[in-house]
Amino acid sequence: MTRSGRMRGRARGVVSGHGLVWALAGLGAAMAACGGSEPATSSTTEAVSTGSSTGSGSTTGADGSSDGASTTWVIPDFGPPPPSQSATCATYVACASELGVDELDAIEQMYGWDGTCWDGDAAQASACTTTCEQELSTLVMGLEAMGEPVPEVCAPPAYVPWAEIEAMLEANCVTGCHEPGGEDSSLDLSDGAYYAIYQVASDQSDLYLVDPGDHEQSYLWHKVNGSQGGAGGGGARMPKGAAPLTAEQIDALADWIDGGAAMF
């Protein structure tokens, strides 16, 4: 199995569960937008009714209004998507399980797909990923020292931090193009680039710009790789009017996406 195929299968299973709330938040915002009004923000989701109701028999229409009362949907401000299990920690857990280590239960409780590592913020998730990298390396070196074969599931995945991808986009794709007033300002990467690309639908193809866990289903990767035509899109290769990204940069973007496209 290729590196991208192995990472794609592992990361996709990891991301989907934690992405549910994020997806629902986007759906709620889209429904509010269809109503023509700007959604309000709140720390909780609630429906606020104003005016007088005609009684318990009143009904609510598709536009959110009801007999004798109007309803305003308050859409919560969820902030960034919550951290999800990193590819490095997924590999560490799988390797520990394959080798039958004594502390497997504790490892799964902390670093598993629903482990405590992913209940906090990005800093905590990043610290857990660093620990997983170290522990995985210890397991592999122990096997090698004893002359034992290293199972394929223990092969360390490539880890690319979001900061590296963000810097690459800023240096190559923002000025004169993906910024307010730029040639393609519809995709603004000058401020909050992560939110502009993470599970955001492309306007040139049926793909997301970034589909976490699968770079071959991510249109942003195709645009910098020059394969956008085969992905149902078109237009010029990114960065437009400049030298293409290096093979190393394109691979780094693929590795970041295949690793779950985390914001750490």
What is the reported pLDDT for 194?
93
What's the whole-number average pLDDT of the chain?
Answer: 77
Over 60: is that where the pLDDT of 249 sits?
A: yes
User: How is residue 253 written in tokens?
Assistant: 């973007």
- Assign 70 a pLDDT band (cuts: 50, 70, 90): low
Question: Which residue, 98, 100, 101, 118, is CA-closest to 109?
Answer: 118
Q: What is the arithmetic mean of pLDDT over 87-111?
A: 95
DSSP per residue over 135-172, as a string?
A: HHHHHHHHHHHTTPPPPGGGSPPP---HHHHHHHHIII
The three-state secondary structure class of 15 is helix
Among candidate residues 154, 184, 218, the one where a domain is terminated: 154
Alpha-carbon distance of 91 to 105, in angstroms, equals 15
Alpha-carbon distance of 131 to 219, in angstroms, equals 32
Give the tens place of pLDDT for each residue, 128-156: 999 999 999 999 999 999 999 999 999 98
* Any domain includes 167: yes
Percent of the chain with pLDDT over 70: 69
More confident: 77 or 246: 246
Alpha-carbon distance of 206 to 217, in angstroms, equals 9
Least reliable range by pLDDT among 81-85, 95-99, 163-167: 81-85
Over 70: is that where the pLDDT of 179 sits?
A: yes
Q: Is 234 in the same domain as 123?
A: no
Give the tens place of pLDDT for each residue, 209-224: 999 889 999 999 999 9
CB 210 within 8 A of CB 199: yes
Alpha-carbon distance of 77 to 113, in angstroms, equals 25
* Any domain includes 58: no
CB 215 within 8 A of CB 258: yes
* Any domain includes 184: yes
Q: Is 196 in the same domain as 167?
A: yes
Among candidate residues 120, 154, 188, the one where a domain is terminated: 154
- pTM for this predicted structure: 0.60
User: How is residue 206 written in tokens?
Assistant: 């049926």
Count the helix, strand and coil residues of the chain and give each as a percent rounded to the nearest 5: 50, 10, 40
Q: Is 146 in the same domain as 167?
A: no
What is the reported pLDDT for 122?
83
- Residues of 17-30 as b/e, b for ≥16 C-beta within 10 angstroms? ebbeebeebbebbe
Alpha-carbon distance of 189 to 179, in angstroms, equals 6
Alpha-carbon distance of 131 to 248, in angstroms, equals 26
Q: Is 102 in the same domain as 209?
A: no
Q: What is the arithmetic mean of pLDDT over 64-91?
A: 64
Counting the structural domains of the chain, the total is: 2
Q: Is 87 in the same domain as 200?
A: no
Percent of the chain with pLDDT over 90: 55
Peptide bond into 83 cis (omega under 30): no
Q: What is the arithmetic mean of pLDDT over 170-186?
A: 92
* Any domain includes 135: yes
Domain that holds residue 243: 162-258
* Look-up of token digits 């700007």: 38
Among candidate residues 154, 182, 208, the one where a domain is terminated: 154
What is the reported pLDDT for 86?
87
